[in-house]
Structure 1
Amino acid sequence: MNFKALYESNKQRVFTGLVMLAFAAVIAFLNNALLTWLIMGAMYMFAFYEAMNLFEIKDNKLFVYAVLLWLAAFIYPNPDDLIFLALIGTLSVMAYTKKLDYKLLAPFFYPSISMLFLYALYHDFGMSVLIWLVIVVALTDTGAYFVGKSIGKTPFSPTSPNKTLEGVLGGVLIGTIVGALYGTFFIPLWLSLLIALISSVASVFGDLFESYLKREAGVKDSGNLFPGHGGMLDRLDGYLFGGVVMVILLRGLA
């Protein structure tokens, strides 16, 4: 693989990625609860907006519900539980008004559930564990890209024709090994290895699911927020599945 040619064709993507990495590093270093909640809330609002576009939903009052949901997450002890209250409330309003439109529930399933779980990961386990998730997902994604570009030949899924099986396996291997080593700061190696592996695999399918939504909507990217990277969902896709899995496994096994 010609790394120089690869870099030359992805300069904007690399630059934007470095800026995002620096920004994330500052947030992690400050580790302020209010600031982290605000930043994650902004990410949620952008992701929610992009999801509404992908689902072709025009009902702007859903944003009000999303904001209220995120405000409640800041003060409620179990943020991820709030999604059930939100879904019950929405279904109750639909039943009362006799306007049953299940499509309106879509952005509360995706990305709302996952964003509440991501916040719960930080809320319950701290910034160091949130960084653990970032390491696993980022290395899985990056590893899959470079391994796929260098030796990838076998298509992984018709949903995402550019992904190769070799790339996915390479990315999962890299994300799992490095993630497992980092995870030993909190839990035993065997458990860290298990959680890193399952979270890594989940992140692959988070990416795949978002690719499916974009293909169904007939768009290349979920948005254009990040030059060279697309929209917020394009950056969060792996975390939206990986974060849910990591929270559940940590609660059940650690």
Structure 2
Amino acid sequence: MNRRTRLALALALGGLLCGCASAPGTGSPAAGEKPFWQAEFDGAAATRPPERWWNTDIGNRDAEGWGNNELQYYTDDVANSALDGAGHLSISARPAPTDSELPCYTQEFCTWTSARLTTGGKVALTHGRVEIRAKLPTGTGLLPAIWMLGDNGVEWPGQGEIDICEVVGGEPRTVYGTAHGPTYFNEDGIGGSATLPADASQAFHTYAVDKQPRRITWSVDGKPYFTLTPSKLPAPRDWVFEQDMHLLLNVAVGGDWPGPPDTSTPSPATMAVDYVRFYGTGRM
């Protein structure tokens, strides 16, 4: 979710999710296969997820509005990210306290707070499958995202980005999955979409990416909806995904894609994450 003005998907595939089984050849874990890393978020309410696995990004202005002119200031406060005591990680966007002076990129002070957690430098997937079971907030001006960035040390977009799922503002039933690379980024990102049977905030769904050599497949609840191979990239088809990639979880507010929040925007707007699982090969 870097530096995009809008996400006009170059390739879009949609369909009503029906809970069907995964199609063969998507790289789904074999029966009985165990993840090489997982986060289940058991623990007392209002406690932080383990620092052994999770980083918490801070700020807004110094990050240039996180590349999208966003309005939220990311914090490490438990009001914005903490375990809920029922087996979930909660990432919550909330209006900033009236007396706060949180420096913002597009205006003097940020009007919202939120959280962005990453596994950068701690856990990464090389090849295999990442699954996240989550319930995502919906509403005007919100952009919750579950995504991955490459660990190759190159500046974005050459770094490579895989958006496992994004749900934007006024499209509460649409899930977007997108890839960004050196010559296909921002509005030229390549991906697809799927349609949920109800708003993403109404139920947990399993959002997944199968990251195989020269092939990436997106799915929701075991139903694939888009596959990317080098042949679908624009010339010179610079495929940058044969590398370790770490995970990011965040709830953004405002910015170029969803537009500003308004009085109808829920507060708090919470992403509830039930689990994260990495299958295959990676680094930890």
Structure 1 length as normaliser, TM-score?
0.28
The structure that is helix-richer by fraction is: 1
Q: Which has the higher contact order (CA 8 A, sep 6+)?
A: 2
The structure that is strand-richer by fraction is: 2
Structure of larger gyration radius = 1
